[in-house]
Amino acid sequence: MSTMEIYTSTSQLPDFHTRWLELCHESGHILQHPLWARFKEEFGWKPLRVAIGQEGKLWAGAQILLRPLPLGFHIAYIPRGPMLRQQDVHLLRELVRAIDQVLRGHRTLFLKMEPNWEDTSDARELLRAAGFRPSPQTIQPRSTIQVDLRPDPETILARMKSKWRYNIRLARRKGVLVRPAEARDLPHFLRLLEETARRDAFALHSPDYYRRAWELLVPAGLGTLLMAWYQDMPLAGIFVTAWNRTGIYMYGASSNRERQRMPNHLLQWEGMMWARNQGCTVYDMWGIPDEVGAHPEVWQQRVPDRTDGLWGVFRFKQGFGGRIVRMVGAWDRVYNRAGYWAYQLFLSVRR
């Protein structure tokens, strides 16, 4: 492969934004979409986009989020990237060299990258050959369940556990209605998030975080917030995104009331059908215990007796008939060894 040129979002390449979207649409995750960067910028991250190509055609790229640290240092993060038109070690090395050149000007301690690649020996070797090491921390869920949306709806239903099919139909019979949220519904969803966080003991972002996700992604056709109602009572809600043939169940919340009406089962079904109507072929349920992903042959049919942590979530998601998938995880490229280990020590003390 001949020498590549380096392009960034501040370069003089005509139509860089359009070309970036073309690359992202072909081989990118929604977390590599410019609107996601704009969203994260409002919450303390500085986005950079670095690409390599020839004669204006982009062959590879990475949307990088910079987080400032004291004394002018930064850490850099590539969520669910990079984007490569072909998974080739020489192409990845060329891109990494371009990224190194850009990050040097930002006093970066290290770069964390979480590729949107399944965990295979080839993927791990590709990352090692490009100068990365396995990271002790992941940010995005490493293991998940993915439902195949290519068959007709009846076939998708038939692949679910019988109890899940029954509960989807039961919710309808019991008067549960699902519809896309409007602006007036957002306070209801935020209250449901608080209720869910108290019940299941997990941390939340600020209310503005979820509100801005809705305000930025939904009008652009990249997401929807589906709410389940019984009469005038909000029972549950899920935020689903759609990009590059993949729907993702990103955020969910539910009430303690009327749970016998099974609103969550119907919501997931409607989320799948919404994603399918957007052209998605996969519905990613976004997060199960990594122990499950590490041993899918054990857990594909086995139901866990545990319900703590993500185990209860896994039992629920498992019933929708998807495939257990484990990603290659997080990998670090260290620029400042002393700073990197100081940062690791800080994280271990804080934990």
pLDDT in tens, 30-50: 999 999 999 999 999 999 999
The answer to whether domain 5-140+328-350 and domain 143-326 are alike in fold is yes
* pLDDT of res. 351: 67
Q: Is the pLDDT of residue 14 over 60?
A: yes
Q: Which residue is associated with the tokens 């371009």? A: 98
pLDDT score of 201: 84
> Rounded to whole angstroms, how far apart are CA atoms 240 and 181?
12
Q: Are 88 and 314 in contact (CB under 8 A)?
A: no
Q: For residue 150, is pLDDT > 60?
A: yes
**pLDDT-based confidence at 10, cuts 50/70/90?**
confident
CA distance 276 to 153: 9
- pLDDT at residue 207, rounded to an integer: 96
Q: What is the mean pLDDT of residues 292-311?
A: 90
Return d(Cα 62, Cα 54) in angstroms, integer. 16
**Once rounded to an integer, what is the mean pLDDT over residues 99-103?**
96
Q: Which two tokens stand for residue 321?
A: 């008939």
End-to-end CA distance of the chain: 45
- Give, for 92, the enclosing helix (H) or strand (E): helix 89-103
Residue 349: predicted pLDDT? 85
pLDDT at 307: 84
Q: Are 284 and 246 in contact (CB under 8 A)?
A: yes
Per residue, what are the HEC states of 312-335? Answer: HHHHHHHCCCCEEEEECCCEEEEC
pLDDT of residue 1: 53
Best CA proximity match to 271, nearest among 236, 231, 234: 236
pLDDT band at 303 (very low <50, low <70, confident <90, very high): confident
Rounded average pLDDT over 119-132? 97
Average pLDDT of span 257-266: 97
Confirm if 20 and 49 have CB atoms less than 8 A apart. yes
Architecture of domain 143-326: 3-Layer(aba) Sandwich (3.40)
pLDDT score of 164: 98
Cis status of the peptide bond prior to 79, with omega within 30 of 0: no
Q: What is the mean pLDDT of the chain?
A: 95
What residues does each domain of the chain span? 5-140+328-350, 143-326
Q: Between 350 and 317, whose confidence is greater? A: 317
pLDDT band at 55 (very low <50, low <70, confident <90, very high): confident
Q: Would the pLDDT of 305 be above 90?
A: no
pLDDT of residue 348: 85
Copy the structure tokens of residue 245.
């043939």
For residue 145, what is the enclosing H or E element? strand 143-148
E runs forming strands in 16-138: 46-54, 57-68, 74-79, 83-84, 108-114, 133-134
Q: Which fold has domain 5-140+328-350?
A: Aminopeptidase (3.40.630)
